[in-house]
Amino acid sequence: MSKVLIIGAGGVGRVVTYKCAQHPDVFSDIMLASRTRSKCDEIVADVRRDTDHQSLSTASVDAENVPELVSLIRSFQPKMVIHVALPYQDLTIMDACLETGVHYLDTANYEPKDEAKFEYKWQWAYQDKFKEAGLTAVLGCGFDPGVTGVFTARAAKHHFDEIHYLDIVDCNGGDHGKAFATNFNPEINLRAITQRGKYWQDGKWVETEPFEIKRVLNYPEIGPRDSYLLYHEELESLTKNFPSLKRARFWMTFGQEYLTHLRVIQNIGMAGIDPVRFKGVDIVPLEFLKAVLPDPGDLGENYTGETSIGCRIKGVKDGKPKTYYIWNNCSHQAAYDETGAQGVSYTTGVPAMLGAMMMLQGKWSGAGVFNVEEFDPDPFLHRLGEYGLPWHERSNVDLEFDDYQ
């Protein structure tokens, strides 16, 4: 029985709060805090209506202000913080956890506001501080990063002697009925996908132009979809933690309509992160764009279709080549019916809750800063399906693209 502080009242925070409230034996007291307290109150009212969880409270906090965080943590005294606000706040929340002696978990790695660049180096630099404090920090415990790392750890533990080729494949086969919207925070999402592509090949990174490499990949229950090679943060930790990998790539599906909108947004400068002066005020174009795009948290009601995210892995088992595919499909409608949030928030929030549960139950433990693939995948995957994200695996079938080695 533990107290937990959830920071961030967006789509993912909604799902985490719902899912934690379904397990009062583990999360006995839950506080949801965000910049805007009314958003927390709204979520908590919905959760109370659906789960009868009594010990839910809310607070307002600026997660970029360490003294404010420290004072909130000291007054509530949680065992851990689940951080599902924005990647800009990773370091301030880690600092506050160190100062107050509580564990930490997040779903996205740190990104400085003035540079669209996500790398683990800033958070890995906290290794000694967390070790010395005897605290655990778990990084990237959503779906991707998150479950994709746990899937890879399962493959390495149970299915291969060595893994050589990893392709993480992320398909959103859903339709929200809007001309253009992002499935999670538009600012973070657009910063990530408009970067240059990058993949790991034979011990080094190979860079590509954005959207330069496209394949048509076949997704279970969804079918073939245009998939583009992107750089995604888990490639950095997975290539470090599984040094036998000769190649690691990340693919994400985008429809033509989405790409056309994106091209226009970029061409007219609306994806820019440098401030422009407008009527005497400095405005960051991408922040303004976020304000006029649909809120990802509101996409759920009419969202149809499914997401399908998995790992396609090749390697060697008992001296023979082996292919292995592990994945989850998640229905947007089912996610919405349960939590009021669409599938992308759901597939992120469920693993965040489950990772926190693993920590509180002592199944994932240790002092220091960890990526999820460093822990035992078994207890996590044992529960993942039961808690809303059933997964499937197949060996030695060819779901792959034409040049898959």
- Binding residues for ligand NDP, rule: CB under 6 A, are 8-13, 34-36, 39, 61-64, 84-87, 89, 107-108, 142-146, 184-185, 188, 296-297, 344-345, 348
- Dmax over Cα atoms in the chain, in whole Å? 68
Nearer to ligand NDP, 36 or 201 (CB): 36
Least Å distance, CB 396 to ligand NDP, is 28
Nearer to ligand NDP, 189 or 266 (CB): 189
Between the alpha carbon of residue 170 and those of residues 10, 39, 252, 317, the distances in Å are 21, 29, 5, 26
Nearer to ligand NDP, 136 or 345 (CB): 345
Least Å distance, CB 121 to ligand NDP, is 18
Nearer to ligand NDP, 305 or 315 (CB): 305
Q: Are residues 80 and 4 in contact, defined by beta-carbon separation less than 8 angstroms?
A: yes
Least Å distance, CB 92 to ligand NDP, is 8
Q: Are residues 189 and 330 in contact, defined by beta-carbon separation less than 8 angstroms?
A: no
Nearer to ligand NDP, 133 or 193 (CB): 193
Q: Which residues contact 79 (CB under 8 A, 6 or more apart)?
A: 2, 3, 4, 102, 103, 360
Between the alpha carbon of residue 173 and those of residues 51, 235, 298, the distances in Å are 30, 23, 18
Between the alpha carbon of residue 5 and those of residues 17, 77, 93, the distances in Å are 10, 9, 11
List of E strands, 107-239: 136-139, 162-172, 197-201, 204-208, 214-219, 223-230
Least Å distance, CB 162 to ligand NDP, is 27
Least Å distance, CB 295 to ligand NDP, is 7
Least Å distance, CB 123 to ligand NDP, is 13
Q: Are residues 181 and 343 in contact, defined by beta-carbon separation less than 8 angstroms?
A: no
Q: Name the 3-class secondary structure at 241.
A: helix
Instruction: Please give the full DSSP string across 342-381, using - where no structure is assigned.
Output: -HHHHHHHHHHHHHHHHHHTTSS--SEEEEGGGS-HHHHH
Least Å distance, CB 208 to ligand NDP, is 22
Buried b (16+ CB within 10 A) or exposed e, 66-89: bebbbebbeebebbbbbbbbbbbb
Nearer to ligand NDP, 158 or 178 (CB): 178
The pair of structure tokens assigned to 219 is 């997704």
Q: Name the 3-class secondary structure at 184.
A: coil
DSSP state of 157: I
| Closest CB to ligand NDP: residue number | 10
The torsion region of residue 273 among left (phi > 0), alpha (psi -120 to 50) and beta comes to: alpha
Nearer to ligand NDP, 160 or 370 (CB): 370
Nearer to ligand NDP, 11 or 285 (CB): 11
Least Å distance, CB 345 to ligand NDP, is 6
Q: In whole angstroms, what is the distance from residue 27 CA to residue 7 CA? A: 15
User: Within 10 Å of residue 156's Cβ, how many Cβ atoms?
Assistant: 22
Least Å distance, CB 107 to ligand NDP, is 4
Nearer to ligand NDP, 146 or 388 (CB): 146
Least Å distance, CB 350 to ligand NDP, is 10
Nearer to ligand NDP, 39 or 215 (CB): 39
